[in-house]
Amino acid sequence: WDRAEKLAAWRDLGFQRLPEFAIAQSQHDILCRLLSEAGAEVICLPLSEALTLDAVYAHDPSLATDDGLILMNPGKTSRVAEAHAHATFCARLGIPVFGEIRLPGTSEAGDIVWLDPKTLLVGHGYRTNKSGIDQMRALLAPKGVDVISAPLPYGSGPSACLHLMSLMSMLDERTILVDLPWLAVETVELLTARGFRLIEIEYSERDTLACNVLSLGSKRLVAIEENVKTNRRLGEAGFDVRTFPGSEICINGSGGPTCLTRSLLRK
């Protein structure tokens, strides 16, 4: 993906600047090492000419459920091919496709948060629309999963990347890292009514994706090293925070460690 024609699309894809590929690769290698050291099996999606630089953010094109993958239909049309790449690759791993979101529905898994095994919170914004949410509800209701719509703010507008997971990250079963001023009142009320502990990010680190943190279980987190104050706050809250540099692989493309991973199986 370091070819000139791939890199030339950076502005249209919403990157802040021309990616420095060697740095991005080094940062990605560090992230993969952290995951492996934590006991995860890391599988890299094969290169495909149909994919863009955005495909590094492997979280968004599919949702893993107990019954298989639900293929998303990204609101960012340049990413639609990623869902089919996930389906093809996961079929080789023996992971079936359980369902698929189709037009007029749009959906990106960055808008989807499992609050518990039977409750799915889905952000309603520019990337995931009402039809996409309704289709997910129809797929998952027979499995006993409650799909709850969570309104997202206008933010920087339709061209920006604003997912629900830009504003909240599950740290463990009862604790959520939040960008509180950007969450809707009804979402905050829902979370507090269900007894979740909310930890706020350091607001000055919002633009460096402080709210995007990957939980590895057993109080272990992976976070971007640039967000020193938020990471310290998480450590003081009892979490083991492991960091990696994210200037290119994360901040430049607006995707944190959760965005960079598509968890297929978690215990």
- For residue 157, what is the domain's CATH number? 3.75.10.10
42 burial class (0-12, 13-18, 19+ CB within 10 angstroms)? exposed
Q: 102 and 155: one domain?
A: yes
Q: 122 and 25: one domain?
A: no
Please report whether residue 12 resides in a domain: no
pLDDT tens figures, 98-118: 999 999 999 999 999 999 999
Q: 156 and 251: one domain?
A: no
Q: 245 and 226: one domain?
A: yes
Q: CA Rg, the chain, in Å?
A: 17
**Residue 20 pLDDT:** 93
**Residue 1 pLDDT:** 58
Containing H/E element for 148?
strand 146-151
Q: 63 and 161: one domain?
A: yes
Q: 61 and 161: one domain?
A: yes
* Distance in angstroms (rounded) separating the CA atoms of residues 113 and 80: 21
Q: 93 and 175: one domain?
A: no
Distances (CA, A) of 249 to 109, 121, 222, 242: 19, 27, 14, 16
Stated pTM of the model: 0.95
Q: 38 and 119: one domain?
A: no
Q: 130 and 227: one domain?
A: no
* Distance in angstroms (rounded) separating the CA atoms of residues 42 and 74: 24
Please report whether residue 137 resides in a domain: yes
Q: 162 and 224: one domain?
A: no
Mean pLDDT computed over 115-138: 98
Q: 86 and 26: one domain?
A: no
Please report whether residue 212 resides in a domain: yes
User: Domain range for residue 230?
Assistant: 20-49+171-183+199-259
Q: Could you tell me whether strands 168-172 and 175-178 are parallel, antiparallel, or unpaired per DSSP bridges?
A: antiparallel
- Asked if pLDDT for residue 3 goes beyond 80, the answer is no
Tell me how many domains the chain contains. 2
**Residue 2 pLDDT:** 65
